[in-house]
Amino acid sequence: MKIDQKKIKNFWDERAGIYDEASLTDNEGELDILSDICEELWLSGDKLNVTTYGGATGLRDPIFLIETLTNMKVEVESIFFNDISSEMVVLAERNIKNKFPLSDCSTFTGDIEEAIDTNPNEPGCLMLGVYNIDSLAPQDSSEYSALDMYMQSNKLGSAFKIHALDFSDEDSLSEDKVLWSCSIEEYQKNKDENKKTFLDICNKQKNGVMVLSEDDNGDTIFSSCWYRKDFLFNLAKSFFSEEKYFIKQYEKGRSLVVSICPNKGISNVTTIINNTFGNLSVDKQKRVLQKLTRG
């Protein structure tokens, strides 16, 4: 099965309002990691061009990063902002321009692959932030899991299924490869048992899983991958050679962040954070990494 981009766009368009109220963005650990990376890489007086792919309404991404850099007296010279959702981009333009009197702020509404091809800036230092499968499937079933969050309200969908995260299988999302599926209604009837089954299945997956939720009338799809720490690090290293890039991985809360920085001078920074990358289909994830090796 191929994930229909129109349905992905519809999903995010419908959530632009709640995203702008910040109710889908309780991922503070990732922002702490971003601050640490900035402190490690840049000094007062440096100048940077910022690119954000899948930035939603801009409130965290790139606004948090730009505020952090500005506090460090690093000058942000330009912003290139992208999201697939036109509703999100309208709000992001307003949010970014309200905060920064920056004349050089361009936006691209559409798919990340096209955005990368359109962006005149090289990626520079890439900060790639995704979700750690340990937060979806902890070893101890009494621990809070992101599954509890999925099953609490239908903000993200009313029924969920999972597939193995498999970069070698072009057909990994076919119906016969569903590892687990459950509606919120069914789940709540026997919560403890359902959670245990889910955790057992997830914990057997060596790379991670993809969670999918299609709405009842088939107009929207939510997709979200959850990664094993080692898998993410090795994936980054398989695209970006360690001769040319310095690659480092960080983790906090449900976040895993890899920073991938060219060994030569870094005057650009690119963020794909809070699991925007994990929202993409696996074939798209591979093409995105490939495209970002340019420069």
The residues of the shown chain that bind ligand SAM, judged by CB under 6 A, are 8, 12, 25, 54-56, 60-61, 82-85, 88, 111-112, 273-276, 279-280
For the bound state, the minimum distance from the C-beta of residue 118 to ligand SAM, rounded and expressed in Å, comes to: 12
For the bound state, the minimum distance from the C-beta of residue 55 to ligand SAM, rounded and expressed in Å, comes to: 5
Nearer to ligand SAM, 150 or 195 (CB): 150
Nearer to ligand SAM, 84 or 209 (CB): 84
Nearer to ligand SAM, 120 or 265 (CB): 120
For the bound state, the minimum distance from the C-beta of residue 12 to ligand SAM, rounded and expressed in Å, comes to: 3
Nearer to ligand SAM, 46 or 113 (CB): 113
For the bound state, the minimum distance from the C-beta of residue 191 to ligand SAM, rounded and expressed in Å, comes to: 26
Nearer to ligand SAM, 106 or 197 (CB): 106
For the bound state, the minimum distance from the C-beta of residue 17 to ligand SAM, rounded and expressed in Å, comes to: 12
Q: How far apart are CA 195 and CA 148, in angstroms?
A: 8
Nearer to ligand SAM, 108 or 198 (CB): 108
For the bound state, the minimum distance from the C-beta of residue 275 to ligand SAM, rounded and expressed in Å, comes to: 5
